[in-house]
Amino acid sequence: MGAFYLPIIEPNDYESFRRTAHFYMPNTYNEWLKFRAKERESLALRGHDVREVTINSSNFAEEIRAGRHANSMQGLCGFAEKLFDGNV
């Protein structure tokens, strides 16, 4: 299986992400951590190479405004991949 890029959000930036997101994000940062841990485990069990990338809400919002990424979980993961590859 290929690589999958999982976004890491810092605790102090989580509420900004929630305000920006037009997709489901858990109500609290702790719930987000649990959600992300389950996703990471599921991906790893399916054989994906999971790579974690820290993402900033203002950078993601700019990517959305510029039309480079959708305001979706898939867009967030795509942005994580772009950051990981150094294409930002």
Closest CA to 39 of 22, 57, 51, 23: 51
Closest CA to 20 of 68, 56, 74: 56
pTM beyond cutoff 0.85: no
> Which residues, other chains included, contact 46 with Cβ-Cβ below 8 Å and sequence gap of 6+?
1
**Using one digit for the tens of pLDDT, what is the confidence trace for 35-61?**
999 999 999 999 999 999 999 999 999
Average pLDDT, the chain: 91
